[in-house]
Amino acid sequence: MNEIAPSPGGHVKEGTITMDAGEMRCDANPSSPTAPDPSCVVRAPIGLLAELTHRCPLQCPYCSNPLELEKVNVELSTEDWQKVMRQAAQLGILQVHLSGGEPTARRDLEEIVKTAAESGLYTNLITAAVLLKRERLEKLKECGLDHVQISIQDVDTQAENADRIAGYKGGSAKKKEVAGWVRELGMPLTINAPIHRHNIHSVEAIINYAVELGAGRVEIAHVQYYAWALKNRSSLMPTRDAFMAAARLVERKREELKGIIVIDAVVPDYYAKYPKPCMGGWGKGIINITPSGRVLPCHAAESITHLEFDNVRDKPLADIWLNGDAFQKYRGTSWMKEPCRTCPRREIDYGGCRCQAFALTGDAANTDPACSLSPLHEEWAKVADVESHQSPPAFVYRRPGGATPKPAAEKTPVSSDA
């Protein structure tokens, strides 16, 4: 996903709720022994990740969609999504990321984009690109589409490897063609490259390829091992040495390509000292809406089994953002346990990922084991070291259904060492 511009600090007005940014503080956890959390000021979110559908023709082994995909017959209607776009703009949201699955699998994408643009939202299409035709891209631009983000698996000279990773023959060539159309139509382009053992040797080539495609930004996004990616961790995990070499290379390329392309990098949890501030803090800046309209603080939040989620079919978005149980639960810092509670970094990384803490410790309020201060960290990090040195097993491909994919032939994976 793109880096999101800072919010101007929104005035929130929806239904009966009226709030100026900075006015409202939350008691995220009333049972907490601490006083109401002064860090927990609720402002308008800046970004909305709209998962228009879970259908997808690709079969990526690191797919970040939930294990249980939502079916086409429960997806929000065109009118529902249009209502969401208007409510998002009223709430103060600036940017909408139209995602999936594969958002172009929705025939009404043009209507949704048009309403979002007319409501004043900056629209970003996050796509695997393989279903797009030039005429449709032109139409989407006419409807107000501002920006396109295309995911790639490897560079065009490694098309066979790229197609093998995505499980889609011809995908690499098609993505290159679509990237060309995006630039010809004068739209800004971001290239997103999930990085793992099977392409970490290509990081420099991927950055150069993004420049060649005319992208203004490239995301070197090391795979995060949640959801489907966890099933393939032992196949995808790079060695620490390969990761360190890639990290140094990113730094060098940042210097070399200053003013030409912005290079974002997402570090793999297993090799980090401290966790990422997941979503910039729970319930702090981003709203995620699933294809059926469930409103989540992060795209993996449904994996925390005790949380209950509101639906945009039943309640206004602003009400859900301000008062929804799932948003309140881990907002701010008052819900934290030690060592996070008294840690000077607690308002920097917010204790890391709640979903990972829940998956690995059984309690989402625990410190994310990705943190070196977690008592579980050492044991957990050892897994990466062991798995990354073993011979990688064959991929367990994601088979989302919907469009009919053409799987590329499986072959012996390439070496992991950069």
Nearer CB in complex with ligand SF4: 101/238: 101
User: Is the CB of 89 or the CB of 218 nearer to ligand SF4?
Assistant: 218
Residue type, 315: K
**Which of 56, 289 has the CB closer to ligand SF4?**
56
Please answer whether residues 228 and 65 qualify as being in contact, where contact means their C-beta atoms are separated by less than 8 angstroms.
Answer: yes
Could you give the C-alpha distances from 159 to 152, 173, 205, in angstroms and in order?
10, 7, 13
CB-neighbour burial class of residue 116 (10 A; exposed 0-12, middle 13-18, buried 19+): buried
- Shortest Cβ 128–ligand SF4 spacing (Å): 4
Longest Cα pair distance anywhere in the chain, in angstroms?
59
HSE of 25, CA atoms in CB hemisphere, 13 A: 10
CB atoms within 10 A of CB 389: 11
Paired with 150 in beta bridges are: 127, 191
Torsion angle, CA of 95/96/101/105, rounded to 10 degrees?
-130
37/368 with CB nearer ligand SF4: 368
Least Å from the CB of residue 274 to ligand SF4: 5
Q: How far is the CB of 130 from ligand SF4 (least distance, A)?
A: 9
Residue corresponding to tokens 């000021």: 41
Q: How far is the CB of 34 from ligand SF4 (least distance, A)?
A: 15
- Sheet strand arrangement including 217-222: 262-266, 217-222, 189-195, 147-151, 122-127, 95-99, 47-51, 286-289, 295-296
Residue 318 or 355 with smaller CB distance to ligand SF4: 355
Binding-site ranges for ligand SF4 (CB under 6 A): 56, 58-60, 63-65, 100-102, 128, 274-275, 339-340, 343, 345-346, 349, 351-352, 367-368, 371, 373, 398, 400
Q: Are 281 and 43 in contact (CB under 8 A)?
A: no
| d(C-alpha 217, C-alpha 215), whole Å | 5
C-beta of 86 vs 346, nearer to ligand SF4: 346
In the complex, least distance from residue 56 CB atom to ligand SF4, rounded to whole angstroms? 3
**Residue with Cβ nearer ligand SF4 (60 or 300):** 60
Looking only at the bridges linking them, the beta strands covering 286-289 and 295-296 are: antiparallel
The CA distance from 55 to 403, in Å, is 7
CB of 5 or CB of 348, closer to ligand SF4: 348
Q: How far is the CB of 70 from ligand SF4 (least distance, A)?
A: 12
Q: How far is the CB of 340 from ligand SF4 (least distance, A)?
A: 3
Nearest-approach distance from CB 265 to ligand SF4, in angstroms: 19
**What is the Cα–Cα distance from 308 to 67, expressed in whole angstroms?**
18
